[in-house]
Structure formats: C-alpha cells, structure tokens
C-alpha cells in the first residue's frame, strides 16, 4: 500500500519538476552558482510559480498539459493543492499534511 502510494506521488513530483524546469530555464544549468544561491533560485521560482497560479486569471498551460497526462496519479496527490503554502506556519502545515496522508493510506487499505 505504501509503496504504491509512494510510487504514484513520486511520478507526480517528477512530472512537476520537469514542467517547472521547462518553465524556468535558469533551472537547467546552475553549476557556477553556490549551493546556497541555487537553493535561493529554486525557492524564488517556486514562490513566483505559486503567486502566478494563485493570483493570475491566466491558465498555466504547461502545468495543465502535464495534469491532463497524469490523471491516474492524481489519486495519490488529492487534497495537496492548497496544503503547502508559503506562510510562516509551514511546519504545522507539513505535520497536518503528513497526518492526512497517513489517514488516507489507512482508510484506503485493502
């Protein structure tokens, strides 16, 4: 049960990173930057992406295409869209997300 859920979630994450790298070209080649600078770039592109998705009326074509291709994997990521925000309460949200995943796995066991 856990392995299947983990595998499905991993597919969603890998696909998301692929689309993310397509959208933000700087993510393709950062070897000349320090690790700290690379982490800052990653977080900045995440923040920009989340801001655009939350406050823009435009559809995100790249992610919409990806979501249509991976409908089977959405079961593992249900309820996750709005759980991870960029607020100061990140630790509490991650604990709640972990507990939610655990509950969903327990409830869906064979």
Which pLDDT score, from 0 to 100, does residue 82 have?
A: 38
Q: What is the dihedral of CA 16, 22, 23, 26, to 10 degrees?
A: 110
The per-residue pLDDT for range 42-65, each reduced to its tens digit, is 899 888 888 877 877 666 666 666
45 assigned to some structural domain: yes
Q: 63 or 77: whose pLDDT is higher? A: 63
- Tell me the whole-structure pTM to 2 decimals: 0.46
Confidence check: pLDDT of 22 > 70: yes
Q: How many domains does the chain have?
A: 1
pLDDT > 60? residue 71: no
Structural tokens at position 9: 């979630």
Give the range of the structural domain holding residue 45, as residue numbers without chain letter.
Answer: 2-80
Q: Is residue 19 part of a domain?
A: yes
């Amino acid at each position: 049960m856990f392995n299947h859920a983990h595998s499905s979630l991993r597919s969603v994450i890998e696909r998301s990173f692929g689309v993310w790298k397509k959208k933000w070209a700087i993510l393709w080649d950062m070897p000349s930057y320090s690790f700290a600078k690379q982490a800052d770039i990653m977080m900045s592109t995440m923040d920009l992406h989340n801001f655009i998705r939350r406050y823009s009326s435009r559809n995100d074509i790249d992610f919409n295409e990806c979501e249509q291709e991976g409908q089977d994997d959405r079961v593992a990521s249900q309820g996750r869209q709005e759980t991870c925000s960029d607020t100061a309460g990140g630790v509490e949200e991650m604990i709640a997300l972990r507990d939610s995943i655990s509950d969903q796995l327990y409830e869906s066991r064979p």
